[in-house]
Structure 1
Amino acid sequence: MTFLGALGMSTGAILVAEMGDKTQLVAMSLASRYRVRTVLLGITAATVAVHGISVLLAEVLGMALPGDWISLVAGLAFLGFGVWTLRGDELTDRDEERAATRRMGPVLLTVATIFFLAELGDKTMLATIAVGADHASAPLAWLAVWIGSTVGMVAADALGIALGMLLGKRLPEQAIRIGAAVLFFLAGLVMTWQGLSALLF
């Protein structure tokens, strides 16, 4: 796949993965306490770091496994993300405490640290690894996935913050969750079929 294809796929996948996700709720909570611009800068810094790690892991997986198996595994992962999305994420009291604290230093550093910790092992990090591994054979795919996943994450969080400010707490969370899950299921079925077809036929 081309650089632009990997860029578009990673942007779309992470945008969908972040809708209604715990880290989007963290972003909305932070934006209610700090300036929106500072929150978005902190989210961007944290996302660049976390998704850099994700892309590195994806490159290692891409080199270690044959492409057909990667496509199959990525497809199954996306089906799992669909189930995870339907189940939903909750913003716990601990997440709220992290979002509220000011003890870590300047606000930008606080936001970036909170978001970095919230994102580790999260669905969007795992989705970035899955997309990156699936596109590992394309030239500069790692860069495309890194940029795309960062753009998708920041765009989803900016949208969540804007909607949260506009609508308060009346966001149709269930509709967003179902829509995102359907997109994950569709992408997962396509990727799983491609992987199975390549292995069986």
Structure 2
Amino acid sequence: MEALITSFVLIFTSEMGDKSQLMSMAFATLFKVRTVLISIFIAALINNGIAVIFGSYITEYIPIFYIKLLAALLFLFFGITTLLEEEAKQEKIKNSKYGPFATIISTYVFSELGDKTQLAAIALTASYNSPLYILIGTTLGIFLADVLGIIVGIYFNKRIPSKYLKYLSSFIFLAFGLSTLYKLFF
């Protein structure tokens, strides 16, 4: 259960102000919100499924201590890079000949491959060795962050400054990184 809660909190907070949240907002201006919600859920499930599968098998080849150490260093790296990132700019979304579902899912999946949240999902899976809980937690974290982004973007016209969301996300990554290092060495 700790793996589910940890993965949800980490991914949910790190997605605030991230490109996937901005994409979801943009898609919601082009397509029906229901179509966007279903599509981003499927895309998040695909991305996190890939991460969980990879994270599950990596422990067979690398000792868990080194994986946890790498996970801690990655969390610290993500915290620092999130803090130093420039404000993300919303990209222009074009209509596709493949329809809204295929457009949203393919755009979302390809733009998130290798993203910090997918790498975090790999590290979480390898650290906790609870792939199902990590899959559920990370997918719900991304999905609910995107839902919140759509609500905030459409109904509240972005009243929450993105810099505060960036600081919160950075703090959470740094806290998880330092906590993991502490558990490894003390």
Deviation at 1:24, TM superposition (A): 1.1
Paired residue for 1:190, among 173, 179, 182? 179
Structure 1 runs not aligned, ≥5 long: none
Which residue of structure 2 lines up, in the alignment, with residue 84 of structure 1?
81
Are residue 43 (structure 1) and residue 40 (structure 2) matched? Answer: yes
What is the alpha-carbon distance in structure 2 between the residues aligned to residue 133 and residue 63 of structure 1? 10
SS in 2 for 1:32: helix
Distance in 1, matches of 2:164 and 2:184, equals 30
Partner of 1:7: 4
Note if contact 1:17-1:127 (Cα within 8 Å) is conserved in structure 2: no
> Does the Cα contact within 8 Å between 1:72 and 1:193 map onto a contact in 2?
no
In 1: Cα distance, 2:84 partner to 2:60 partner: 33
Aligned to 2:96: 102
- The one-letter code sitting in structure 1 at the alignment partner of 2:41 is T
Q: Which runs of 5+ in 2 are unaligned?
A: none
> Could you tell me the TM-score, scaled by structure 2's length?
0.93
1:166 matched to 2:155: yes
Q: CA RMSD in A?
A: 1.5
| TM-superposed deviation, 1:46 | 0.8
Q: What TM-score do the two structures reach when normalised by structure 1?
A: 0.86
Aligned to 1:128: 121
